[in-house]
Copies of this chain bind each other. A is one copy, B any other.
């Protein structure tokens, strides 16, 4: 229900949505595509599972990946900005008309770069230069953590869009 609300809220504001997913691996995009009419707002999602894909397709700086790690506030923000910017360019849209959301985190079962299982960063970018990042520390197994991250991303997007 809240993905439907999100699609409608984005549509009403004349905006488009871009996604950059690592942790959620396409599940955030799939949840939005479940909504009939999603094609009126969703440009697409770059599921950047390998680090090199984060750099090549989401313009994440290799230095940020090396220094901060793939699971970090900085990389989360760069993924959101990259999704916004690269998908806007692909579609000939101005970044003032595109919002983006990114997910990065540790689903487990193992730690990643010293970050605990359940650590999740959700980045938001746009419209224009606006940006924000949210940190969560979820408890659960691999699939629960990813599902909680999808729900959190949709909630953050709904809050974000409702204030525009």
* A interface residues with partner B (beta carbon < 8 Å): 19, 21, 24-30, 32-34, 36, 38-39, 42-50, 52-53, 55-57, 86-87, 89-92, 109, 142-143, 146
Partner of A46, one of B46, B92, B109: B46
Partner of A43, one of B21, B38, B53, B146: B53
Cβ contact within 8 Å between B26 and A56: no
Please provide the 7 A-B residue pairs with the shortest distance between their CB atoms, ordered closest to farther: A26-B26, A25-B33, A26-B29, A56-B90, A45-B47, A27-B30, A44-B53
Q: For residue A84, give the distance in angstroms from its CB to the closest CB of chain B.
A: 13
Contact A57:B90 (CB < 8 A) given known A47-B45, A48-B44? yes
Taking the full assembly, how many copies of this chain does it contain? 2
Provide 6 A-B residue pairs closer than 8 Å at the C-beta atoms, listed in order of the A residue: A25-B30, A26-B28, A29-B47, A44-B57, A46-B47, A56-B91
Docked complex Cα distance between A99 and B90 (Å):
24
Docked complex Cα distance between A128 and B29 (Å):
29
Cβ contact within 8 Å between A26 and B34: no
Partner of A49, one of B27, B43, B53: B43
Cβ contact within 8 Å between A47 and B50: no
